[in-house]
Amino acid sequence: MSGLAFSAAPAPALPLRFLATAVAWGVLSGLWLAWHGGLVLASRWSPHALVMVHMLALGLLGNAMLGSLLQFLPVAAGSPLPWPRVYVPMHAAFNLGIGCLLPAFMPWPAARLLALAATLLLGACAVLSAAAVMLALRRGSGARVLREGIGLAVAALPATVLLGGLLLAARTGWLHPRTASWTDLHAMTGLAGWCVGLLAAVGAVTLPMLQGTRTPPPWLLRAWMLLLVACLAAGLAGARQWLRASPGLALLPVALFATGVLVLQWRSPHVRNRPLRLAWCFAALALLAAAAAALLPLPGGIRPALAVGVLVLGIGLPATLLGMLLQVASFLAWIELRQRTPRGQRIPGVGQLVPAAAMYRALGLHLAASGLLLAAMAWPPLGHAAGLVMAATWTAAACTLAASWRHARGG
């Protein structure tokens, strides 16, 4: 763990607030799927599917990624965040915005006002988050390529929210309807630009540190970032009907990222943290399957858009998040314990605060939920069972999070 500036870390309760909220949204998304089942999987345009997608994308992934950045930037990227008093109210506003957004997808009378409130709250939080991170990166002292990668990913966040606001305004009657290509661009910017872009940048540090892989060369990460920018630009051109971008274009950088993860793991000089390695390996396979599903014919009349959404948003990205969330939770608990323990007294190691058995348990539940989700694409009634197991996955993660924090607080 050399090179980590633990003294620069914020109070552990601050990032933990975001991580705990992410886990809560994971449980809620599972319960939503268990309740509505086939309605969620019937069509990408159904209100129930839109609610599920944004529970996962904003509630689960959004909270976890913002919380992880609060910890990662000062500790591993040498970039302490400015304005420390902003993040607690921003957390509240961000989740209030999600709470306004979800019912705005339903055909209710108040949908237009809820859509406006959600756009304002989420837009303000996205701009504030991006500004804070960009300022931190500009002042930072960490590796340049790492700060460039995080900056690119964070720049995609307000762009994603802007596109989402335009689509929501069109859906609720504030603007003229938009074409489906704008929805694809919104998804592409959020999932490939923000989510996978941040995973690639952070993974260049955490894969060697936590999993024992070789460090990828900086030129390779820069080349991947240029490809990502080119694909996003082509997607924008296609949405504006200047050209027709290939359906698989958005998933090209995602597939290359997944391939890079598998190659780095396969050629690791050391093997560390087997549950985390397994989570990233499973996620990489799911992302590669998503890229294949966008290009190849699927059995049983399964729609490519549904398969890509399930593989990326329901299986792949949550797998990486599950492994990293529990890893970050152990670091937060260790920092809290170290701050509370008198100097000279020994404290448990990071790995003892979140045992491997707990990580395997949560990952096993996620694998079971993933199998049910894949089967539910062909037979939607299985979505109810998939939702129950998904809720159990994030409940197990919540219990592990709470246990590590109680240990750190001396409970």
Q: Does residue 35 carry a pLDDT above 80?
A: yes
Q: Does residue 240 carry a pLDDT above 60?
A: no
- 346-398 pLDDT, tens per residue? 776 666 677 888 889 999 999 999 999 999 998 989 999 999 999 999 999 99
Rounded to 5 degrees, what angle do the CA atoms 106, 65, 357 make?
105
Query: Would you say 324 and 68 are in contact if contact means Cβ atoms under 8 Å apart?
Result: yes
Q: Does residue 282 carry a pLDDT above 80?
A: yes
Mean pLDDT of the chain: 88
**What average pLDDT does this structure show over 279-294?**
94
2 vs 351, residue with greater confidence: 351
Of 315, 314, 290, which is closest to residue 304 (Cα–Cα)?
A: 290
- 75-124 pLDDT, tens per residue? 888 888 999 899 999 999 999 999 999 999 988 888 889 999 999 999 99
Which helix (H) or strand (E) element contains residue 334?
Answer: helix 317-340
pTM of the model: 0.93
**What average pLDDT does this structure show over 194-219?**
92
Q: Does residue 263 carry a pLDDT above 70?
A: yes
Of 154, 223, 235, 135, which is closest to residue 194 (Cα–Cα)?
A: 154
Q: Model confidence at 241, in pLDDT bands (50, 70, 90)?
A: low
CB neighbours of residue 31 within 10 Å: 16
Q: Model confidence at 133, in pLDDT bands (50, 70, 90)?
A: very high
> What percent of the chain shows pLDDT beyond 70?
91
- 64-75 pLDDT, tens per residue? 999 999 988 998
What is the structure's pLDDT at 43?
83
Write the burial class of residue 319 (CB in 10 Å: 0-12 exposed, 13-18 middle, 19+ buried).
Answer: buried
Amino acid identity, position 244: R
Question: What backbone phi and psi angles, to 5 degrees, belong to 212?
Answer: 80, 20
164 vs 251, residue with greater confidence: 164
Q: Which residues contact 334 (CB under 8 A, 6 or more apart)?
A: 347, 348, 349, 350, 353, 408
Cα 173 from chain centroid (whole Å): 30
- 144-193 pLDDT, tens per residue? 999 999 999 999 999 999 999 999 988 887 776 666 678 888 988 999 99
What is the structure's pLDDT at 238?
64
Q: Model confidence at 249, in pLDDT bands (50, 70, 90)?
A: confident
Q: Does residue 14 carry a pLDDT above 80?
A: yes
Q: Does domain 6-335+346-408 have CATH number 3.40.50.2000?
A: no
Q: Does residue 53 carry a pLDDT above 70?
A: yes
DSSP for residue 268: -
